[in-house]
């Protein structure tokens, strides 16, 4: 058996309501939307960073998504390098459907149970935009989840994992085209039949189960079966409070429902995650996490559909005159200077304790030539800043900010998440800021990431 010992979540700052998509409609759901410099990788990096800073170095990483950004390149390997895991560890992508998140959790449980791995980092992420003009028909939210799965005692014990395959898929893509079968046939032959098999073989007991989580849009079809088994469908079926807040988050969603249960319950919980087959995961919640990640989410609400189109890079980005460019993107430079540019490993002068991010052979203050390595902080204070009106951006001008990092070191980066300039997010000299990892260029042809900054404790618009 394995345990979930840590987790974290990452959402974009911006969110769009159903009323923005369809002002006269009744859709009250919300959908988180990535900023122009956010993607699957940056959200995943954000979710991983905090739990890795607390020890428990993973010896394997599993990456799950139904919306991959790479082809012929492992997302797991790319992310492992970004977060500083050692080369040569087990790194696997589990990519295809919205069930990929629980697929990865099931695999992690088996790998920990084999005794060959101590700590597995599981990352699930989803960034996908619905067809333009039909967004109100979907509820696709952007998010990332990271978990450390281990044999050590943790927040929740994974008691049992099973998977039940199904040949029927209610809808799927083939050669780029979406195929949708008649729901009167496919949902019965697919979802209901498969769930009945999973239910029969799992044989859950109402008096031994605190809650059931059914991650499927067709969950109502099996409520009768659940009730016949002695369950109270009003109180023992876990309510999905995530979807209305952030949208359906694809491969993340089952894991987010588990996290929601961990933050609100104690005892035995049974997850049924359906998508062209069913994963069944039984877990016992041992203790509540010290910080509830999902109870106090705040977002900046998008004012208009036009702003949403800018975030998803439509309009100018799909014009025939639009051209991608290669700018400031040298793999050789980034690889050679990775310790400084990615991992923020600076130099501290042994004589005067001055700290430098970039390599230097002589201290600029005391002219000493002996240094030791120092890990720089990701928070700091604004030393100075300027507005750059010529840098290509959807929301000019780009604020270039010089930051004195806490504990020493100075870095120059761009401000991000500043689509709606206001007194609350306006950065001034002396303000406290934090570094976040984002895409550098909107027009780049290849992965090109670097640090940017956001104001700490900025007040944001929120419903």
Q: Which of 312, 294, 394, 275 is nearest to 129 (CA)?
A: 312
pLDDT score of 321: 55
Compute the Cα dihedral for 352, 356, 361, 366 and give only its sign: negative
End-to-end CA distance of the chain: give it in Å, rounded.
42
Mean pLDDT of the chain: 89
**Listed range (4-18, 63-77, 186-200, 330-344) with the worst mean pLDDT:** 330-344
| Percentage, residues of the chain above pLDDT 70 | 92
- Evaluate if residue 430 carries a pLDDT over 60: yes
Nearest-10 crossing angle of helices 75-82, 40-52: 50
pLDDT score of 461: 36
Global pTM exceeds 0.95: no
Mean pLDDT of 350-363: 92
Chain segment 236-286, per-residue pLDDT in tens: 999 999 998 999 999 999 999 999 999 999 999 999 999 999 999 999 999
Spatial contact of 279 and 273, defined as CB atoms under 8 Å apart: yes
Q: Which of 163, 155, 159, 120 is nearest to 261 (CA)?
A: 155
**Order of strands, edge to edge, in the sheet holding 2-10?**
90-95, 60-65, 119-126, 143-150, 2-10, 156-165, 277-285, 267-274, 211-215
SS3 call for 147:
strand
pLDDT score of 332: 76
- Evaluate if residue 136 carries a pLDDT over 80: no
Cα–Cα distances (Å) from 177 to 171, 173, 180, 187, in that order, read 10, 5, 10, 20
Tokens in use for 359? 């390599």
CA distance 27 to 258: 25
- Evaluate if residue 444 carries a pLDDT over 70: no
Length of the chain: 463
CA distance 233 to 228: 10
- Evaluate if residue 226 carries a pLDDT over 50: yes
Chain segment 157-206, per-residue pLDDT in tens: 999 999 999 999 999 988 888 899 999 999 999 999 999 999 999 999 99
Compute the Cα dihedral for 333, 334, 338, 340 and give only its sign: positive
Spatial contact of 269 and 261, defined as CB atoms under 8 Å apart: yes
pLDDT score of 384: 97
SS3 call for 328:
coil
Tokens in use for 422? 């206001």
For residue 460, what pLDDT band results from cuts at 50, 70 and 90?
Answer: very low
Ordered domains of the chain (ranges, CATH): 2-317 (3.40.47.10), 330-455 (no CATH)
């Amino acid at each position: 058996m394995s345990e979930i010992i840590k987790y974290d979540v990452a959402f974009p700052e911006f969110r769009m309501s159903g009323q923005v998509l369809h002002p006269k409609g009744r859709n009250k759901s919300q959908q988180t939307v990535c900023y122009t410099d956010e993607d699957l990788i940056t959200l995943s990096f954000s979710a991983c960073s905090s739990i890795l800073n607390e020890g428990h170095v993973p010896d394997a990483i599993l990456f799950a998504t139904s919306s991959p950004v790479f082809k012929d390149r492992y997302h797991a390997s790319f992310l492992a390098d970004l977060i500083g895991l050692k080369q040569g560890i087990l790194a696997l992508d589990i990519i295809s459907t919205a069930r990929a998140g629980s697929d990865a959790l099931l695999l992690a449980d088996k790998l920990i149970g084999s005794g060959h791995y101590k700590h597995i980092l599981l990352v699930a992420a989803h960034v996908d935009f619905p067809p333009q003009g039909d967004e109100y028909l979907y509820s696709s939210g952007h998010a990332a989840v990271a978990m450390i799965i281990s044999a050590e005692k943790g927040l929740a014990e994974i008691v049992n994992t099973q998977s039940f395959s199904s040949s029927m898929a209610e809808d799927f893509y083939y050669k780029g085209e979406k195929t949708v079968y008649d729901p009167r046939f496919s949902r019965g032959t697919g979802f209901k039949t498969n769930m009945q098999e999973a239910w029969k073989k799992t044989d859950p007991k109402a008096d031994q189960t605190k809650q059931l989580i059914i991650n499927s849009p067709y969950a109502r079809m099996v409520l009768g079966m659940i009730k016949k088994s002695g369950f109270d469908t009003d109180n023992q079926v876990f309510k999905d409070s995530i979807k209305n807040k952030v949208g359906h988050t694809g491969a993340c969603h089952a894991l987010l429902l588990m996290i929601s249960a961990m933050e609100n319950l104690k005892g035995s919980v049974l997850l049924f995650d359906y998508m062209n087959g069913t994963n069944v995961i039984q877990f016992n919640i041992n203790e509540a996490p010290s910080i509830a990640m999902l109870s106090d989410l705040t977002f900046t609400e998008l004012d208009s559909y036009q702003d949403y189109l800018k975030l998803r890079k439509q309009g100018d980005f799909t014009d025939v005159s639009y051209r991608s460019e290669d700018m400031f993107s040298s793999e050789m430079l980034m690889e050679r200077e990775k310790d400084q540019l990615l991992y923020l490993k600076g130099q501290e002068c042994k004589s005067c304790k001055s700290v430098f991010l970039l390599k230097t052979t002589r201290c600029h203050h005391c002219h000493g030539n002996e240094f030791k390595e120092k890990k720089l902080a990701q928070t700091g204070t604004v030393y100075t800043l300027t507005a750059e009106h010529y840098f290509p951006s959807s929301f000019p001008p780009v604020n270039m900010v010089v930051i004195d990092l806490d504990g020493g070191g100075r870095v120059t980066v761009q401000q991000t998440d500043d689509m709606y300039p206001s007194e609350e997010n306006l950065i001034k000299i002396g303000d406290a800021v934090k570094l976040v990892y984002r895409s550098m260029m909107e027009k780049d042809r290849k992965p090109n990431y670097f640090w940017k900054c956001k104001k700490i404790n900025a007040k944001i618009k929120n419903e």
